[in-house]
Amino acid sequence: MSDRQRIESDQVDESLYSLYRRGMELLEDGSFAEAAVPLKEAARQAPEKTSVREALGRALFRSRHYAEAAAEFEAVVETHPVNDFAHFCLGRALSKTGETKRARHHLALASNLRPERRDYRQYREQLAAQAG
Provide the residue type at 124 as one letter.
Answer: R
The H or E element spanning position 100 is helix 100-113
Please check the confidence at residue 88 and state whether its pLDDT lies above 50. yes
pLDDT of the residue at 7? 38
For the chain, domain boundaries: 1-64, 81-132
pLDDT of the residue at 3? 44
pTM of the model: 0.86
* Candidate from 3-17, 64-78, 112-126 with smallest mean pLDDT: 3-17
Q: Are the CB atoms for 82 and 109 separated by under 8 Å? A: no
Confidence of residue 102 (pLDDT cuts 50, 70, 90): very high
pLDDT of the residue at 131? 72
- The pLDDT tens digits for 17-28 are 999 999 999 999
- The pLDDT tens digits for 110-130 are 999 999 999 999 999 998 888
pLDDT of the residue at 130? 83
- The pLDDT tens digits for 29-65 are 999 999 999 999 999 999 999 999 999 999 999 999 9
Q: What share of the chain has pLDDT > 70, as a percent?
A: 89
pLDDT of the residue at 87? 98
Cβ neighbours of residue 127 under 8 Å, at least 6 residues apart? 91, 95, 100, 103, 104, 107
Ranges of H-type helices in the chain: 3-28, 32-45, 50-62, 66-79, 84-96, 100-113, 118-131
